[in-house]
Chains A and B, each alone.
Chain A
Amino acid sequence: MPQLVDASDCPYNPVVDAQTPSAGTIPTIVVQEFHKSYDQTVAVQGLSFTVSPGQILGLLGPNGAGKTTTMRAICGIIPPTHGRLMVAGHDVAADPVRAKQELAYVPDDPHLFDTLTVWEHLQFVAAAYRVPNFEPAANRLIELFELTEKRDTVAQELSRGMRQKVAICCAYIHDPKAIVLDEPLTGLDPRGIRTMKQSLRDRAAGGAAVLVSSHLLALVEDLCTDLLIVHHGRRLFFGPVSEARAAFAGLDKDASLEELFFRATEVPPTPSLTS
């Protein structure tokens, strides 16, 4: 039988369970009742949330919570067992090509094509997404992420951080409406982190919906407008960062995100929450 957490285990006040995004427009990413199971194991159970243009949603959860599974399903990489996933109005299962056309995904450990150069990666992605006259944008991106000197270097010669930067440049080249990033700061140097964070803010300000998964709570606190906390494949909280502390009993308004995270994912259910 599937192993699930009981819904009553969630130390979350349903009254504050906001479905409405902070930006208040038509959502770019819509996840409705998403389930994913493997044989006897349930990875994600009935997850629903939205990400709207301008919104940066931080996806938090312990290891094995179902974060990467959710992101890969949104990107059409793995099929959902049940549920509906939409990107920019296109159903990922029914109309995957149009959905993916509006989407960019950076996995936690991007595997580049070993024999292609940095520039050729951009050239390939631009061709796949049918980006006309991609060169100016590509040049801007490799300059922004300090890859100009590595333009003609093959991927297998790049360091972990540089490969991450190439993957990010590839994600941005077609101006996606939805950006999905799994641990985007892994391997980046301080300047790269700053550039990355600013670029995400700029993209969001330009109308992109951003979904970021990270264990770096400081990043999430600094960058995200909204939070989605998942545990054992179920949603514990979804709503604006400003409302997160109020959602959990026993947390004062100045509590850090770390306190909030541990409160949400580790505290056993109390009678006041489950009654």
Chain B
Amino acid sequence: MNPALITLIRLQSRAFVRRMVHGAASPRRAIFLALGVGVVVLWLGQLLFTTVAVRNGHGHGRQLSPQEFRVFAPLGLLGICVLTIVSSAADKAIAFTPGEVDMLFPGPFTRRQLLGYKLLKSALAAMITALFLSLALLPFASAWAACYVGVYLTLMFIQLFSTAGVLVGQAIGQRAQTLVRRVVLGAALLAGLLLARNWIAAHGGVEAVFAFRDSTLGEAILKPFDAFGRAMTAGDTPEFVGAALEAAAIDAGLIAIVMMLDANFVEAALAASRRRYAIMRRIRSGTLLGSGVMGDVKWHLPPPPWAGGAGPIAWRQATAAARSSRGLLFLLLVITIVLGPLAASVVRTAEVGQFLLGGIVWLTILLSQMLKFDFRGDLDHIDQLKSLPLRPAALAVGQLAVPTLILTGAHLLLLLSVAVAVKSQRQMLIAAACLALPFNAMLMAIENLIFLLFPTRPVAASPGDFQVLGRQVVQLVLKAIAVMSGCVLAFLIAVPFYLLAGGSMIVLMAIAGIVMTGQTCALVPAIAWAYRRFDPSLDTPS
């Protein structure tokens, strides 16, 4: 491989370590790092404890023995490979970052050198991933070292299989340009699908899988996968060496295939890199479910009212939400169609409350992370926002308005769906509806306050990036504490009124809603303060 590419990998590895170590220089990042390490240590500790307990016969429930795991591992691996092929069918490209595309593609490197660089990077990343996975799979293994090597070789196999699949796909695509070739290819694909369908029809769902495993064809197909399971679960050194060498030989064979194929992957990788970057941007701006607005737009929202300066901001966010809401509307439609009838048919009347609470919590967590039509989606526009002649408090209100209203709309839709389907518990549903707007306003205020104090970007975290993990844990815990405190306070104040009103749920929720509204009003100056103190030159995360 080109020495420059090896240097690049060395520098990137050093940068990864530097980011981890230097990141701990500031107190805030040191806390994130410590918490991230703490979470991982706790998780690993729990895994080791379970493993030891199982081996000493103190574990709860039945766990797979290494022998049983060995039987299922090839099937699992085959499933992963099939999924990889299916999932990459629409995106036949090797993943390069935009930086790699801009810096390496025009560089003096051959396609094989670039492939080698990509594979070496994957191999290094797999070393860290294997560390965690091997600990997670320890209960099924006889020795950790064997498990680690087995998992590492398996991860490499999956990566190499995926890369080979992509390159084979491109090679076939390049060669299947004529109509006759396309027809032959399509016919072969159709025949394969028909065979699979007939097999499943003859044997039934899960049984078809086991029948496949025991058939001659199944044994032949699963044979290459078998070595990986044996390497992970080897009981003694000779068995491990034999299985590991077999698995390593399979990986080496795949590397040879990948290198020999030498398909022209560059253009596809370029396009895929752009697509992935666009998706990342949409995740960051909270428009992941968007339809990807293209070209000219024929409709506009009416001009905004001034509203102390909040109007134009809310109008801008509302326009962005409306433009990219097709996916969101679909999601809400599914919720409406599914959850209401589901509540009516599956859940007993007495349990509707629990079902509803679960549904609301799930919907809230899901949507509150998706609806970034506020400061969270405006991280790259803070300069523009700060140069506008608007008071920070007004700007904060404008930013909170749209996600709050959309989330409230989703909640009301869910409640309506359940009300129509269940036809009981009307008082509880009305009471919950009373609380939707104030609760969501408070939630969004907390989300934005924490974001402005601890600004982050969604990043593709590398394995072992404890700081990212720690940051996510801190933010989650902070949010949970703040939201819970707000709710507890609101209900503590509301309970006496509830008792005075003879146990009226509507009174309870209405008073709690008023208190939550008060809390949101109190949070607006705090958000404005956090926005004022946000220094884009210091606080904008990379």
The verdict on A130 contacting chain B, using a C-beta distance below 8 Å, is yes
Whether A154 lies near B315 (C-beta < 8 A) is no
Residues in B376-392 with C-beta less than 8 Å from chain A = 380-384, 386-391
Contacts of A38 in B (CB 8 A): 537-538
A128 touching B320, Cβ below 8 Å: no
Q: Which stretch of B301-309, B334-342, B413-421 is in the interface?
A: B301-309
Shortest CB-to-CB span from B540 to chain A, Å, is: 11
Q: Does B99 contact A (CB under 8 A)?
A: no
Give the most central of B295, B296, B323, B387: most A CB within 10 Å.
B387
With A115-B293, A116-B319 known as contacts, the answer to whether A77 contacts B536 (CB < 8 A) is: yes
What mask results when residues 72 to 87 of chain A are scored 1 for a CB within 8 Å of chain B, else 0?
1001111100000000
Size of interface on B: residues with Cβ below 8 Å to A: 39
Q: A119–B382 Cα gap in the complex (Å)?
A: 21
Flag if B287 contacts A101 (CB, 8 Å): no
- B403 contacts chain A at the CB level, 8 A cutoff: no
Query: Across the interface, which residues of A come within 8 angstroms of B381, CB to CB?
Result: 111, 113
Taking a contact as CB atoms closer than 8 A, the residue among A75, A113, A130 that contacts B387 in the complex is A75
A111-B384, A127-B304 given; A154·B312 CB < 8 A = no
Asked if A97 is at the interface (CB within 8 A of a chain B CB), the reply is yes
Query: Could you mark each residue 131-160 of chain A with 1 if its beta carbon is under 8 Å from any beta carbon of chain B, else 0?
Result: 000000000000000000000111011000
Query: Is A117 an interface residue when CB atoms closer than 8 A count as contact?
Result: yes
Which residue of B303, B315, B389, B537 is within 8 Å of A97 (Cβ)?
A: B389
Q: Which residues of A contact B537 (CB under 8 A)?
A: 38, 69, 72, 78
Q: Could you tell me the distance in whole angstroms from the C-beta of A92 to the nearest C-beta in chain B? A: 11
A127 touches B298 (CB 8 A): no
Judged by a CB distance under 8 angstroms, whether A254 is at the interface is no
Neighbouring A residues of B281 by C-beta, 8 Å? 114
Known: A78-B536, A123-B303. A97 touches B384 (CB 8 A): no
Q: How far is the CA of A156 from the CA of B323 in the complex (A)?
A: 13
Chain B residues whose C-beta falls within 8 Å of the C-beta of A262 in the assembled complex: none
Bound complex: CA of A157 vs CA of B295, how far in Å?
6
Q: B324 to A128, Cβ gap below 8 A?
A: no
Given A76-B387, A78-B537, A97-B391, A128 and B312 touching (CB < 8 A)?
Answer: yes
B536 touches A72 (CB 8 A): yes
Contact check, A128 vs B538: say whether CB atoms are below 8 A apart: no
Does B62 make an interface contact (CB < 8 A)? no
Q: CB within 8 Å of B: which of A145-200?
A: 152-154, 156-157
In the complex, the chain B residue whose C-beta lies closest to that of A73 is B537
CA A129 to CA B389, docked complex, whole Å: 6
CA distance A154 to B323 in the complex (A): 10
Q: Are A152 and B391 in contact (CB under 8 A)?
A: no
Residues of A within 8 A of B233 (CB): none
Contact mask A101-114 → B, CB, 8 Å, 1/0?
Answer: 10101010011011
A35 interface residue (CB < 8 Å to B): no
Q: Which 7 A-B pairs have the closest CB atoms?
A: A127-B312, A101-B389, A100-B389, A115-B323, A115-B320, A77-B386, A152-B296
Question: What are 7 A-B residue pairs whose CB atoms fall within 8 Å in the complex?
Answer: A76-B386, A77-B536, A79-B535, A110-B384, A116-B320, A127-B306, A157-B295
Q: Give chain B's interface residues, CB within 8 Å of chain A.
A: 281, 285, 287, 290, 293-298, 300, 303-304, 306, 309, 311-313, 315-316, 319-320, 323-324, 380-384, 386-391, 535-538
Further pairs besides A114-B320, A128-B312: 16, Cβ < 8 Å = A38-B537, A75-B387, A76-B386, A97-B389, A97-B391, A100-B389, A101-B389, A110-B384, A111-B383, A113-B320, A115-B287, A117-B296, A120-B300, A124-B316, A152-B297, A154-B323
